[in-house]
């Protein structure tokens, strides 16, 4: 592919102070790319500044980064998609290298691993939360992705058009990562500096609220993508509780031939029944999950793979 169509996608909410610089930097780094700014109901002059800087400006009225990403992936046609936050914290100069990585693999996802250059880059709790949540996903879904919550990524057309975006907010980064891991897509990593926001710009990420939402999404994705693991764990808890409750009842029955604690015996039996039902549910949903994964893979395979000029 000698001249791939490249789209730079910038989701924005109240980034008047930063968006002009972001557009100029990416215009310099990727001069042939189309730059799209999707304004998410900003109350400042984000859209006007972006348009004046030469970006194609569109609007998404449903609030939340997940809604914006879903709209961008649906509407924009390109061979490669560079997605970056509009807060001017990422290094645009590495975009060319990330695009080259995507073509040379070819890789469907190139993730920018952030390297801090300022103390103000991460707010309190963000670094720990990122490490914890990334660690959980790596342990359950595979350890092929670093810095999961980085907002700077390059995607192939195959990835974008097969991605069933369901998240609404910042948890979209987790969903993107799990999509790549579940379909065993080729993934690469670049590295770029990560700096603090410009003066007058305020982060929209709320450490505890968004961290909780991401954690809940991880649990939901485990239930959807690893139902046997999810319901098997529930079955183990119910079965262990049932055995703990039943042990003294059985011991008394073996010694005296009576069941003096009938409610406890009934509870233990009920919990064991739930444990068996959880195993059955996990088994059935595991088959359903496999079918969904195969459907996503078939959609993915409808689009040709990227190739570099050397291939």
Which CATH architecture fits 6-223?
A: Alpha-Beta Complex (3.90)
d(CA 39, CA 37) in angstroms, rounded, equals 6
* CA Rg value for the chain: 24
Q: For 143-187, what is each residue's pLDDT tens digit?
A: 888 888 899 999 999 999 999 877 776 678 888 998 999 899 999
Q: Can you give the pLDDT at residue 207?
A: 62
Other beta carbons less than 10 A from residue 281's beta carbon: 18
CA-based angle 22:70:228, to the nearest 5?
A: 125
Q: What is the mean pLDDT of the chain?
A: 87
Q: Which residues of 66-81 are buried (b: 16+ CB within 10 A; e: fewer)?
A: bbbbbbbbeebebbbb
Q: For 189-222, what is each residue's pLDDT tens digit?
A: 999 999 877 766 566 566 667 677 777 878 888 8
Least confident of 25-34, 144-153, 249-258: 249-258
Tell me the HSE value of 65 on the side-chain side, using a 13 A CA sphere.
Answer: 25
Instruction: Tell me the pLDDT band of 252, cut-offs 50, 70 and 90.
Output: confident
């Amino acid at each position: 592919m000698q001249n791939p169509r490249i789209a730079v996608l910038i989701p924005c909410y109240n980034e008047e102070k930063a968006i002009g610089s972001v557009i100029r930097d990416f215009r310099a780094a990727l001069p042939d790319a189309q730059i799209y700014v999707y304004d998410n109901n900003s109350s400042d002059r984000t859209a006007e500044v972006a348009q004046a800087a030469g970006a194609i400006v569109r609007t998404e009225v449903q609030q939340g980064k997940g809604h914006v990403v879903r709209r961008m992936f649906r509407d924009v046609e390109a061979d490669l998609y560079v997605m970056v936050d509009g807060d001017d914290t990422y290094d645009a100069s590495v975009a060319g290298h990330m695009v080259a990585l995507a073509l040379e693999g070819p890789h469907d996802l190139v993730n920018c691993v952030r390297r801090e250059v300022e103390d103000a880059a991460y707010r309190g709790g963000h670094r720990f939360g990122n490490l914890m949540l990334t660690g959980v996903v790596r342990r359950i879904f595979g350890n092929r992705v670093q810095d999961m919550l980085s907002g700077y990524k390059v995607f192939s057309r195959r990835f974008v058009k097969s991605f069933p975006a369901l998240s609404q907010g910042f948890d979209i980064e987790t969903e993107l990562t799990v999509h790549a891991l579940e379909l065993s897509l080729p993934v690469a990593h670049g590295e770029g500096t990560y700096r603090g926001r410009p003066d007058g710009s305020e982060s929209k990420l709320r450490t505890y609220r968004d961290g909780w939402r991401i954690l809940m999404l991880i649990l939901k994705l485990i239930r959807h993508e690893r139902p046997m693991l999810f319901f098997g764990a529930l079955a183990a808890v119910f079965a262990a509780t049932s055995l703990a409750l039943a042990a003294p009842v059985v011991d008394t029955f073996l010694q005296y031939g009576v069941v003096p604690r009938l409610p406890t015996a009934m509870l233990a039996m009920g919990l064991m029944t739930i444990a068996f039902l959880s195993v059955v549910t996990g088994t059935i949903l595991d088959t359903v999950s496999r079918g969904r994964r195969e459907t996503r893979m078939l959609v993915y395979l409808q689009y040709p793979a990227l190739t570099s000029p050397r291939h």
